[in-house]
Structure 1
Amino acid sequence: MSKRSEKTIVDIAEELNLSVSTVSRALNDNPNISIRTKEKVKKMARKMGYRPNALAAGLRSSKSKTIGLIVPRISMFFPAAISTIIQNKLQEYGYNLIICQSNDSYEQEIALVNTLYSARVDGLVVSTTLYTTDFSHFDVFRDNNIPLVFFDRVPKDYGVKVIKGDDQLGGYLATSHLIERGCRDIVHISGPLSSNLYVERVAGYKKALKQHSLPVRKDRLFYQELSRDHAWQTCEKIFAGKPYPDGIFASNDTTAITIMEYCRKINIRIPEDLKIVGYSNDPRTEIITPAISSVDQYPAMMGERVVAALMDMINATTPSTGFSQEIIPIQLIARESSAGQMKTKGKKK
C-alpha cells in the first residue's frame, strides 16, 4: 500500500530552521527547551505526520510486520473470540499482533492509538469504546494511509473500512422470536445509545413490536453498561412490582444469565413464567440450565473478514479512501429459555 514518505526529525529541523538536536530535545520534553519551542516543534511534527521511532534505528525494515488491535475488554466473549481469530489469521501472513484493551475508556483509547502509532504498526484494527463519538484521534492513521479497520463497534460517518454484524436484524429476530413464543410484555435491556450496536438492536426491538401491533413502552426499555451488577440492579427495578414482563431481550449474554439467576432467587420459572433471549452466543448460554436462547454473531467469520480487508489494504498499490461497510450475518439460536407457549397468555397473533 502506498504511503507518504516517513518524516524524520531532520525534516522537522529543516522546516523550522532549527538544529536537529533542538528538535529532538523538544520532542522529548527536555526542560532546557522553552515551552514555545516545544509547542512549535510538536505542532510541525503532527502536521508532517512524524512518528517517533520506538525501536533502535537500523534494527527494523520499512515494515514492522506488526498490527495493532484495540478492543473494549478482552474478558468479554466476543472480543476475546475475535482477537484469537485475528491473531491466528495474521500469523498465516507473517504478521504479529499487539492486543490492547481500552476498558471502555475514551481517554485510554486515545492513548493506545498514539502508542500504537509511535510503535509504527503496519495497520490498526479497532472495536471502539461505548462512548466514542469523536474519532479524530484516528486521523493520524487515516491521513497517513496506514490501514485502519473498525469492527463490531464502529463509526457511522468516518471515512474508513467498517465490518459489523447485522445488529438491527438481530434485535428484530430476538424480539420476534419472543412474540412468536407467546410473549406480549417484552422488556429490552440495552447498552448505551452512544454505541452503534445498541442503537441498531433497539431499532430492531421496536420494529418487531410495531409489526405485531404491540406498544413500545419507555418503562420497558433500559439503557446501561451491560455488566452483571447493572443487570442485577435492573432486575430489582423490573420485578419491584407486578405485572411482571413475560419476555426479556437482553443485549448481551452476561445480562441474560444474570436475569436467570435473579429469577431463580424470586421463584420466577423460566421459560414457563418468563422467556429470555440474549446476544452473542457466549458458550455459557449453552451449558447453563435452562440453556439460553441467543443471537450468534459469527466471530470467526468477522475475524477472518477483518484480516482479509487489512491485507488487501496493506498490499494495495494505491491507498483506499472513503467509507466502505461489510455486514456479517447473524443467526438466532433458540434454546430452552424461550421454549414453548406461555401458559397464561392467549394465542399468538
Structure 2
Amino acid sequence: MSRTKKNQESTILDIAAALQLSPATISRALNNNPNVTPATRKKVTEMAGQLGYRRNNMALGLRNNKTHTIGLIVPRISMFFHAEAITMMQNALYEKGYNLIISQSNDSPEMERRLVDTMYSSRVDALIVSCTLDTQDFSHFDVFADNDIPLIFYDRVPPAFDGALIIRGDDFQGGYLAGTHLAETGCKRIAHISGPLTTNLYRDRSAGFFKALKAAGLPVYEHLVFYQPLTYDNTRTALKKMFEHREKPDAVFTANDTAAIAVHEFARENGLEIPRQLKIVGYSNDPRCAIIRPAITSVEQFPGKMGSKVVEALMQMLAADRETALNEPITIPVQLIRRMST
C-alpha cells in the first residue's frame, strides 16, 4: 500500500475490493445485519481493522436522522455527585445502543453556551444538562426545544423550561431534614454555610433548613449564615468569622460535603469536640464522610437513581412524539444518613 493511500480514509469500497465482496455485503456486515453469516462478518471486521476503516457516524446520521449519540454537559466531572450519575447514565445508554459525549462547563455560563452550540452542530439525538451555578438566561437551549430534540435538565435546573424535562433532587426536603435533625439533638445556635442563591440547589436547601428552624422555634442568627462558593478555603474563612463572634455556633449545616469536611478539620484543629461541642451535617453523602472520624452526617441524594431516571425518561422521549413524551418535573427523594458527627 502506498504512503499516500495509508494517509487516506479507507472506505467500504476498499474493504469490498480487498475481500472481493460487494459493497452492499460489506455494509450489511458492518451494521450487524442478520443476513450476513458470522464467518463473513468476522472477515469484514478484521479487514476493516487492517485498513483502518472508521465508520462515519455523522454521514449515517445525515441519512437516517439519527446518530445514536447523546450529549451531556455537567459543571465538573470531578464532583462526586456527577461522577456517580455519569457512570450510571453512560452504562445504561451503552446497553441501549447509544454513545455518550461528556463535556464540562467548568461552571462558566459562556462555556456552557458554546458547548450547547457544539452539541447541536454535532447532531446529537438528545441533550442532558446540569447547569452552571450562574446560569440565569437559558435561551441558548431553545435550539433543542424548538427543533423537537429531547432535552433534559437534571440536578441544577431552570425554574421551568417549555419543551424540556426537569429532573431534580428534593433539596428542600433535604435542608428540612438537616435542620430538624440538629434541632432534635438539642442544638440552639445552628450555623448555615450555603452556596450562591443563583442556583436552585442552594435556594431550596436553605429554604428547607430555615423552615425547620422556624418549626422548632429556633432563631436564625445572621452572623452564622453565609452564601458563597462552597470551597474548602471559603468555608474556613466563614468559620473563622463565626468563632470570633461572641455567640458561637453549636452546630453547622453545610450545603455540600466539601464544606462539611472543612468544618470537621477546623473543629479538630481548634479543640472543638465533635459532636459534644459542635455538630455537623453535610449534603451529598460523599464517601469521604463515612471514612473520616467521627463520621459526618449527610443527606444522601442518590445520584445513581437520578442517572437511571434520566436514561429511563430519555428513552421514552426518544420513542414518543412530543405530545406523549414526559413533561412533568420529576423529583428524586433524599435521605438523611445519621453518623457520629451529630
Q: TM-score, normalised to structure 1's length?
A: 0.79
Structure 1 residues 204, 333: CA separation in 2 closer, same or farther (over 3 Å shift)? same
Q: Specify the alignment match of 1:169 in structure 2.
A: 173
RMSD of the TM alignment (CA)?
Answer: 1.8
Which structure 2 residues correspond to residues 59-138 of structure 1 after superposition, within 5 A? Answer: 61-138=64-141
Which structure 2 residues correspond to residues 151-300 of structure 1 after superposition, within 5 A? Answer: 151-159=154-162, 160-300=164-304
SS of residue in 1 equivalent to 2:329: strand
| 1:218, distance to aligned residue in structure 2 (A) | 2.1
Read off the aligned partner of 1:245 and give its amino acid letter: P
Distance 1:101 1:336 in 2: 35
Distance 1:127 1:58 in 2: 26
Q: TM-score, normalised to structure 2's length?
A: 0.80
- Which is richer in helix? 2
Distance 1:174 1:116 in 2: 38
User: Which 4+ runs in 1 deviate beyond 3 A?
Assistant: 53-61, 317-323
Matched, 1:304 2:308: yes
Q: Specify the alignment match of 2:13 in structure 1.
A: none
Read off the aligned partner of 1:241 and give its amino acid letter: H
Distance 1:215 1:241 in 2: 16
CA contact (8 A) 1:90 1:96 kept: yes
CA contact (8 A) 2:90 2:99 kept: yes
Q: Residues 186-208 of structure 1, C-alpha deviation per residue, up to 9 Å, x if partnerless?
A: 01111111100111111111101
Q: Specify the alignment match of 1:11 in structure 2.
A: none
Distance 1:183 1:252 in 2: 20
Distance 1:307 1:247 in 2: 38
Distance 1:94 1:197 in 2: 32
Structure 1 residues 190, 320: CA separation in 2 closer, same or farther (over 3 Å shift)? farther
| Fraction of identical pairs, as percent | 56
CA contact (8 A) 1:145 1:319 kept: no
Total equivalences in the alignment = 286
| 1:60, distance to aligned residue in structure 2 (A) | 6.3
SS of residue in 1 equivalent to 2:259: helix
Distance 2:172 2:222 in 1: 19
Q: Which moved more, 1:217-226 or 1:236-245?
A: 236-245
| 1:241, distance to aligned residue in structure 2 (A) | 2.9
| 1:131, distance to aligned residue in structure 2 (A) | 0.6
CA contact (8 A) 1:54 1:119 kept: no
Distance 2:280 2:256 in 1: 11
Structure 1 residues 318, 211: CA separation in 2 closer, same or farther (over 3 Å shift)? closer
CA contact (8 A) 2:317 2:326 kept: no
SS of residue in 2 equivalent to 1:237: helix
CA contact (8 A) 1:158 1:323 kept: no
The runs of 5 or more residues in structure 2 that have no matched partner are 1-55
Q: Residues 119-149 of structure 1, C-alpha deviation per residue, up to 9 Å, x if partnerless?
A: 1100000110001111000000010000000
Distance 1:77 1:60 in 2: 39
Q: Which moved more, 1:54-63 or 1:119-128?
A: 54-63
Distance 2:62 2:200 in 1: 41
Structure 1 residues 104, 287: CA separation in 2 closer, same or farther (over 3 Å shift)? same
CA contact (8 A) 1:71 1:126 kept: yes
